Chains A and B, each alone.
Chain A
Amino acid sequence: GAGVSQSPSNKVTEKGKDVELRCDPISGHTALYWYRQSLGQGLEFLIYFQGNSAPDKSGLPSDRFSAERTGGSVSTLTIQRTQQEDSAVYLCASSPPGQSTDTQYFGPGTRLTVL
């Protein structure tokens, strides 16, 4: 079946612009995660959605970052007034229903470059 998809695959933007990154999780997966992977760094947790529960936003680095998940499926990560330090690969993952901490299925990522 189809895996997690993310778009765009690459995004180049100018400092100060807003960007939107999209994630389509695997159909039926109730949990959705966003991570950031910077060069030489591990995966930095950003935000977690689980069904209709309130999201865990504890990893968002600043109020310029926000995310939504509409209808329990597609998610959009928005970065406002981008800065050069926001340049990274943004990864989305989803997990099936059941145990809330389970195997995560990752998308290919969106490489964001802020000039």
Chain B
Amino acid sequence: AQSVAQPEDQVNVAEGNPLTVKCTYSVSGNPYLFWYVQYPNRGLQFLLKYITGDNLVKGSYGFEAEFNKSQTSFHLKKPSALVSDSALYFCAVSLLGGGYQKVTFGTGTKLQVIP
């Protein structure tokens, strides 16, 4: 069975500092990885995804994520945090392959950017 772990319930970072939100995954095959963001009182929005190719994926709002196969990780990063980045972040994994593959979401990490 596939799974996603987001080990931190909350991450606090000062505005202007770099931020990292951690995600590790387990899947029996090649992974298809996603990050979604949920702003307060709003629906989930797609940030970025990794399929194949370059391990560093760039997404919306200046976010990027690095796929590390040996560590089975897909950490979300941003060089300089903004207060407006404060939100709930979800990592998700699926199995890359033909046909329907279920997407499994992590439990989410609350990012708090402190002015």
CB-CB under 8 A from A107, the residues of chain B are 43
B108 proximity list for chain A (CB < 8 A): 42
Contact of B32 among A43, A45, A93, A101 (CB under 8 A): A101
How many residues of chain B have a CB within 8 Å of chain A?
25
Flag B29-56 by CB within 8 Å of A: 1 or 0 each.
0001010100000111110010000000
Which stretch, A11-19, A48-56, A68-76, A80-88, touches the partner chain B?
A48-56
Question: Do B43 and A53 touch across chains, with their CB atoms under 8 A apart?
Answer: no
User: Knowing A101-B94, A103-B49, A109-B43 touch, does A48 contact B102 (C-beta < 8 A)?
Assistant: yes
Task: Report yes or no: A41 in contact with B107, Cβ–Cβ below 8 A.
Answer: yes
| Chain A interface, DSSP helix/strand/loop, else mixed | loop
**B64-108 with Cβ < 8 A to chain A:** 90, 94-96, 98-108
Output the nearest chain B residue to A53 by Cβ-Cβ distance. B100
In this assembly, does A65 line the interface, its C-beta being within 8 Å of a C-beta of chain B?
Answer: no
Among A40, A43, A109, point to the contact of B105 (Cβ < 8 A): A43
Given A103-B34, A106-B44, A106-B45, also A45-B99 (CB < 8 A): no
